[in-house]
Chain A
C-alpha cells in the first residue's frame, strides 16, 4: 500500500465541548488519510487523555504523544511546542506503553521546545494540596499540576523550570530546590499536614534521561517544520473549559481555543494557514465540577463509556443531552471552525428515544438566556512574551465569567425530543460536516468531505 499524499494545509483540531469529544480519533483519522510532518501540542499538558483504538485492536490513551502515533503508514512524530506544559515523568510511562504496542523507539519521535514549562511532582503536590483545601468546592482539576505550573511561572518566571533546563542539571537543581521551598510555604499557608516531598536528585536524574533521549529544540524548529510540511495541531481539553471563555472557576489554566495554534502559525510567518476542525459528541459530557445545564444522570447507564470513569481528583464522568447552545457559545469563543467531526453517533442511537437536544436556555424567570463570550484578554503564557500578572481587566473578565457560570448553573435547557442526526448537528452549528464516527476506530468513520 502506498503512503497517502501530503495534506494541503495544516489542521487544527479543537473540542467544542468540555473535552472528551474525540480529538484523538480525529487526529488518528487525519493522519491515516493524509501525510503530516508532525502532530503538535499547543496547550494543556499531561492531563490530556485522548483514547485511540486502532482497527487491529491496539488501544492507547494519548496524553503527550500525538494521536498520529498509531497511523497505518508509520508513526507521525510529535512536537511539544513552547505553549504546552510538558511532564517528562508521565511522558516516560506513556512512551513505555507505546513501545509495548510495538511502536519502535517512541522517544525518538518526540521533539520538545526548550521554552516549554515542565510540570513536576512539586507542582502536582501543590495542585492536590489546593484542591484538598477547597473541600467540597473543588474546581475539578485533574491533579496533574499543569495549572500549578502555569501559576507558578506567572508569579516567578525566572524560577519556573523549562524543558531546556533538563539539559543543565545545575540550573534545574536550583529551580527544583526553590519549588520545594515553595511547596513547604504553601503547606504552611494552607495548614496542610502532609510532609513528604519528592526527591530532587531522583528527579534531576530522571529529567536528565529525558533531555538525553528526546530532542530538545529551539525556537527555529517549528517554523522550519511548518515550512517543510503541514502539521496537525492536537488541542487538549475543550473550548468550554478555556481559561478565559470557560465558566469560572471550573476552567483549566490553558487556552483551549484555536488561538494558540494560530499564534504559532503566525509566528512562523504562516498566519491562518490551517483548516480548523471542531469536534463534538452526539451528546454532551463533562468530567468534573461545573455548570452542565443538560446533564441527565439517567443517561449514564445507556451510554457506555469504556475509557472515562470516576477520576480520583477530577470526580465523576457526567453525561447529558446534546447541548447545541453550549456548542454555539464555544464556536463563537473560538472564532468559528471550517468543518465538524461528530463522534459517538452510534451511542446516540443506542440510547434510543431517551436522547434529546438542547436548543437554548431559559433563566429562573423563564426568559431566554443566551450566553455570549466576552472580550477575553490575550492568551496568557508566563515566559513569552511576559504578560504581567493578572491585571484589573482580566479580573473583571473573570468576574463576568463567574457570573455566567452562576447563571448557567441555574439555567433550564430548552429540550427537543429525539437524537439528532450528524447532518442536523452540522446544520444547527452552521458548519460543513467532515466525518462521523459510529464506533471507536478510524474504520468506523464515515467520511463526508474530501481530506
Chain B
C-alpha cells in the first residue's frame, strides 16, 4: 500500500471543498472584490488600526516567555501575485520556529501595507497570535492592488503604528526586542504625515515625523528586516534598493524565491537569537524536508557574516592569517 491513496484523498477533499466554495484562500478579498464597489472597499474590522490602543504580545501560563514577531507585507499592485504566495507560505512559519526550537513561544502578527495617499486600505494590522487565528488574519487581509505608481508606499505609516501602538512583554519584561519583517519592493515616504495618521490610525499628531526618526524609534523596539522579493516589479530598481540598503544595511534580504519566505524568516530569527549559525539553519531546513536551503542560504549570506565579532576564522585565533578561510577584520 503506497501513500498515493492518502494524497489522493486529501487532494480530492481539498478540491471538493474549494470547488463547492467557488472562492480562493483570500476569502475576504474575494468577497470584497466581487460584491463591493471600489470606493466602498474597507479594511476588515479585525485588521483596522483605527482607534487601536495597542496590539499586544503578552506572556501567559501557556506561553511564559512570549516573543513578538511581526510580518507586514505590501498589498499593492506592484507586488503582483506576491501577497497570495505569502498567504500560502506564511502559516508554515509558526511550525518552523517551534519544530526547530529557535523560539519557544512565538507570537506572530500579520499586516498589510498600502498607499495612504490613494488607497482605501492603506494599513491593515492583525493581532499577535500564538498560532490560533493567525490564518484568519491572513485570510482577512484585503489585497487591494492599486498603489500610487510613484514607487513609494506607506511603509512609514506601518512603522509608526508598530512603534507607537504595540505592547510586548518580551521587551517590557525582559528587555528583548521583537522582530519586524517588512516585505515589499518600494520606498517609504519621507515622513509620517500627521494627517494620514489621524485618518488611518486616529492619533492626533501635532506634526509630521521624518522617516529616519520613526525608523530609529522603531528599531529601539524591534529588530527590523526588509525582505525584497526578486519576483516583484521593482526588484531591479536601484533607487528602491539603495533606499533600503541605506536605511537598514545588512538587514535587507534579497529573496529570489518567495516560496522560501517562511524558512528565510525562521532562519533569520534563529541566527539573531543565536540558536544556530547559518550552516545549522540550512541543515535544519534540509532535515525538515525543505528544498529552500539554497535560496535561503544565498539570501541570508550577508547576515551570516561577522556581526559584532572581531574575527571570523575557520582556524584557531592567532593561526596563519594567510591561510584560506581566514578572514581578519
Contacts and interface: CB of A to CB of B under 8 A. Distances in A.
Interface string A86-104: 0011111101100100000
A239 B135 CA distance: 42
A205 B95 contact: no
Contacts of B13: 88-89, 91-93, 206, 209-210
A190 interface: no
B31 interface: no
Interface in B1-52: 1-3, 6-7, 9-14, 16-18, 20-21, 25, 27
Contact of A99 (B10, B18, B20): B20
A210 B2 CA distance: 24
Interface string A163-193: 0000111110110010000000000000000
Contacts of A203: 6, 10
Contacts of B17: 92, 107, 206, 209-210, 212-213
Contacts of B16: 92-93, 95-96, 209
Contacts of A209: 13-14, 16-18, 21
A168 B135 contact: yes
Contacts of A173: 91-92, 95
Nearest to B134: A170
A106 B20 contact: yes
Contacts of B14: 92, 202, 205-206, 208-209
B298 interface: no
Given A199-B7, A212-B27, A167 B1 contact: no
Contacts of B273: none
A106 B11 CA distance: 19
A69 B162 CA distance: 50
A75 to B, nearest CB: 14
Contacts, number: 106
B64 to A, nearest CB: 17
Q: Which of A89, A91, A106, A203 has the most CB of B within 10 A?
A: A89
A9 interface: no
Interface residues of A, number: 38
Nearest to B138: A169
B99 interface: yes
Contacts of A167: 135-136
Nearest to B135: A169
A196 interface: yes
B80 interface: no
Contacts of A177: 95, 99
Interface in A81-140: 88-93, 95-96, 99, 105-108, 121, 125, 128
Interface in B71-100: 91-92, 94-95, 98-99
B12 A174 contact: no
Contacts of B135: 167-170, 208
B131 interface: yes
Given A96-B16, A174-B98, A205 B10 contact: yes
Contacts of A205: 10, 14
Given A170-B95, A174-B98, A197 B3 contact: yes
Q: Which of A90, A105, A173 gathers the greatest number of chain B CB atoms within 10 Å? A: A173
A105 B134 contact: no
Contacts of B12: 89, 92-93, 96
Nearest to A171: B131
A95 B20 contact: yes
A91 B21 CA distance: 15
B98 A199 contact: no
A220 interface: no
A198 interface: yes
Contacts of B95: 170, 173-174, 177
Contact of A213 (B1, B3, B20, B25): B20
Q: Which 8 A-B pairs have the closest CB atoms?
A: A209-B17, A92-B13, A198-B6, A196-B3, A170-B94, A92-B16, A202-B10, A206-B10
Given A96-B16, A170-B134, A209-B18, 10 more contacts: A88-B13, A89-B10, A93-B13, A93-B16, A96-B12, A105-B20, A168-B135, A198-B3, A209-B16, A213-B17
Interface of B: 1-3, 6-7, 9-14, 16-18, 20-21, 25, 27, 91-92, 94-95, 98-99, 131-136
17 contacts: A88-B13, A92-B17, A93-B9, A93-B12, A95-B16, A107-B21, A168-B131, A168-B132, A169-B91, A174-B95, A197-B6, A202-B7, A202-B11, A203-B10, A206-B11, A212-B17, A213-B17
